[in-house]
Structure 1
């Protein structure tokens, strides 16, 4: 950052060592004038420093390293505030100003700067004020001030929840503690209806890195008029006491693509993918959540939304997609819509956690879609809690208006859907990447599949390889690549070569030439993930007619396709061919 006159940083002579040489300043600043009284003063000064340094570090909002705040004539400004002053000079900030001249000196320091004094803090020789970020440069030129964010105060340094799903998914065991904080998770992009950023769930907006409105539909209220995106983001990364999400220290980028009815155009969702691709480095976006699906059944290699999410995947962004809520209790529905039908991304089905804390009675929610895609890939790959979920919603949202009987407390309601299973896995992926930042999306997918917990009561395949277990996945030291066979068709410019893939499957229905052995499944310990039960033979690759890639000749009788035509319990009708629907039944 550019330094201005009177705003010098890191000048040791001014901060600790006095104005002379190190030896002279040590005598003047800390050690006094010598003798026993001098040593007593020195000890008191050292104790004071020991206490002050952690407190100033705690007040830093994470915008920079400790010790690099603005200093001028002894004035200190928290680095995070300096970044706001430089990037968003017109933003209103909540700050606490301490003064060596006492509370009156702190009050005098903001005279003429248009600041609103909210409270005088006599015990701290300070005032709490609201001030425009650009005015910090004026304060930096004054002497004897310490300026820090008036940040939210938490009862403890760890997340808390009253729900079961954070524990069954393994996420809660990765939250850390006051003495052993969790590593910083990467940013999660939530492509949805926006979020209500100022909620306690997102630390009053401190963890919302960006909010972008890309919706071309109306009406679309500011923030989150629908409420769906806030609910999803809270499950992925909420931090409110009692309602913590899967990765409560992750930052969030909100891409608003939906109107207040929960509908978006496919082009708006693709525009969100473009934005993530262009800005992933700036915001450290490593995970993107799509709790939505297209209204048009297509082959994945022809669908523009599938191509867009693949581009994210190939550029190191882990993509999570909801399976959909058009499943039935009578048999597999298939997973027919983008982006959940894409073989690269991780598609998530919804688990009904049953009535006990054990996995023995966990099953797929009756409306959770599962089965084969148009191209013969089995979906979903994994399951996560998605029924009777409690999450954050704006009180004025259309979801609250439509379902007032689902409100469990002010600002929170109970909902079900694969929409809310997906962010459990998005948060789990962020937790894994916090501990393995160099892993690729393929490796994260492999780790989550390898360590999935067995669900003996679930119909085979309805929840992929089982229920997500973030803790076990994060503890791995290496991970297999479940997309290795498909990776051979990814070109140097990070595009999927559909023509080559089609030529391969047309030439060999059994995929013998695709070398499934190269995926090294045998080298992985798949027993825990119950791969034996997944049985690739059941996919009937050999019986499928790859000649036209339409699966028209495949024997679907066992999949009961004819029985799955109706809307299932809690299902939501598919959107029109021009639209995207959010996924809560």
Structure 2
């Protein structure tokens, strides 16, 4: 992945978490973000072992006094994890890699990860954005379009969306008339400009409602703060969401983080174990890094103990024939669905709202794989965060949103797949979402080419392929 947009987002997220020293890893590839100078462990005996092992290693090899290695709050809680400080974040060198190496031998003996980085979990267009939204005319219609069927509260499938909250006037969009949940905390800045990623949860809910009309959709604003949260906090926030609303039929999650840890995220251990004992199907975005590095929690779908309760979703490009250039890929991605230039509600339909682009487009596909005008390149615009913009005198482009938008990312392929599971539950009067998801995949005969592999593809009947021409940026 080209680093430009990732680095721009790193600085954006750092501003939203001003008290957390962040860094990028695992090396110059800048695959993910994590808390500098801290490792995440399970509380109890494992925490004590890791703390002692790291303290001994650093005392003997790096000359640090034992007090430099200690637990830092908040401690444990329902998620069963705690943070251990392994160095001074103000130092130039990050000590986390050294700490992880100190416990590697013990991990190999026990066959499980004892310590890991405290990753930044982010919405799947945040640190790895597919693109930014593009306004479309009010004369346009949703894509996927509204499926046949009606809403019946007695039989509706319960879907919980954990994301950014709903825009204040979302119910003015007919498909979202009975959607409930949290409000987006702050929609605009002091100049009245729409904040980045506002409308993300609303856009997702609109796709779900279009694909599966007989759904009770609840949107929780768990990721309202720039769409980013530390792994150490994320499990607890997921618990809060399901405790508040009850375990849903389907949990739609367009967030996660890349990680090379093969067993998943330590911070999600407790939540994932409880999920396994429920009937809920987690439908999770595969991420937009254009990489085969597992993106968690979507990658839990490849672990045998979670295969029936997690559905990982990658994105197809606009014509639906192959993978979008930005989509993550690999055997851990169970299915791909349309995720490029979908059309849904971004804002309500009451007052037009201006937006200034944050990223600039590229001269060519930033992943080096697209042979068509992909979202890396078009529509052309200049963004505020782009390095060197001021020296060239280029002004950032501004557009107006007054309802619908086109947007791209595995964030939006995810509600397409979640909606198709819900629609199948209604059509077959199926009350088990995991059985419905398995049946949907078993019946999927369509295939798409993604990085040389032919993979299962889900294409809703109401979805319209988007021609591969060059779209114009609205005036």
Of Structure 1 and Structure 2, the greater strand share is in: 2
TM-score, scaled to structure 1: 0.40
Which entry has the higher C-alpha Rg, 1 or 2?
1
Higher helix content, 1 or 2? 1
